[in-house]
Amino acid sequence: MASSPLSSASPALRIISSLFPQYSPTLHANPSLLPLSPSRPHSLSLSLSTSSRSEKLSCRAVSSATAARMASEKKVQVFDSKDDLAAELAKYTADLSDKFTKERSSFTVVLSGGSLIDYLRKLVEPPYLDSVDWSKWHVFWVDERVVPKDHEDSNYKLAYDGFLSKVPILPGNVYAINDALSAEGAADDYETGLRHLVKNGVVDFSEATGVPKFDLMLLGMGPDGHVASLFPGHPLCKEKEKWVTFIKDSPKPPPERITFTFPVINTSAYIALVVTGAGKAGAVQKALGNSEDSGTLPVELVSPAGELTWFLDKNAASKL
């Protein structure tokens, strides 16, 4: 493996894998979104995996005058197959479940919609089906469509059919929206419920940010770089006061949804961003690659106080 230092003109790391020459991405720190810390090196790690072997690469770089604000720890894992990705995501989630259930009486997990649920399929199989302490799981949604729970567009239905119905999570620990309310009413109701769970100690709270601190947030990303129901150029990307807000003009149907805001997303202890498919390679490149117009996609605003790990298949990483 060879690597080059930060140039004085661009906060970019060139990581070259001798085992995987097709993956030699330039990983570009987005200086507009990250905390100032010129005196301390920051780190980024990249794991490249195949069914037969994997290589984990780590690079450290010292800040320069033009790159004073650098990325905090960010992990990028690229998998040769979707099965490999699902297997590693299951292990990652189960390990965090074990960590948090030993530390306290609950493990708070936030789900999203889309293809993410399919990548949780290994969790419903041995050994995790029997080894995970499902009784301590509390499940939330980072966003939801304001439709009945049995509607095909419902993220709850997607998660129930593909995951929740196959594991023994207590029904009372699954927090779906009140689909009888309007979008605004459902958002207010969900935030009220979160405040109650924070008060009761089920959900952790960050005194630093004044919002709930979830243990694990499992996010997907759209081809346009949206996360949750926070879309490019939409004013909700700048919402700072509310924990949960609503949208009635979603550019992707259905139009009415509720969504967590970025302060809540970025207060999470751990975030996994699961992105697959060639159709998302452009947004991945913009978020992680050497792009001149970085900072314009919602996914680039995912910058947690905790740890962020990207789970990519080789198609999604093809432009890195």
Q: How does residue 113 score in pLDDT terms, banded at 50, 70 and 90? A: very high
The reply to whether 177 and 209 lie within a common domain is yes
* Percentage helix, strand, coil for the chain under 3-state DSSP, each rounded to 5: 30, 25, 45
Average pLDDT of the residues in 45-64? 41
What DSSP character marks residue 115? Answer: G
Q: What is the pLDDT of residues 253-272, one digit of tens each?
A: 999 999 999 999 999 999 99
The reply to whether 105 and 243 lie within a common domain is yes
11 part of a folded domain? yes
Total number of domains constituting the chain: 2
Domain of 177, in residue numbers: 80-313
The reply to whether 89 and 237 lie within a common domain is yes
Q: How does residue 74 score in pLDDT terms, banded at 50, 70 and 90? A: confident
Q: What is the pLDDT of residue 295?
A: 72
The reply to whether 90 and 182 lie within a common domain is yes
Give a three-class secondary structure readout of 190-220: HHHHHHHHHHCCCCEEECCCCEEECCEEEEC
Q: What is the pLDDT of residues 150-197, one digit of tens each?
A: 999 999 999 999 999 999 999 999 999 999 999 999 999 999 999 999
The CATH number for 307's domain is 3.40.50.1360
72, 96, 125 — which closes off a domain?
72
Average pLDDT of the residues in 65-90? 75
Q: Which tops the pLDDT comparison, 228 or 63?
A: 228
* Closest to 314 measured CA to CA, from 279, 287, 277: 277
Cβ count near 281 (within 10 Å): 22
From CA 238, how far away is CA 196, in angstroms rounded?
25
The reply to whether 91 and 50 lie within a common domain is no
11, 39, 72 — which closes off a domain?
72
The reply to whether 138 and 28 lie within a common domain is no
From CA 218, how far away is CA 85, in angstroms rounded?
14
Does the structure show a pLDDT above 80 at 230? yes
| Token representation of residue 251 | 């550019």
Length of the chain: 320
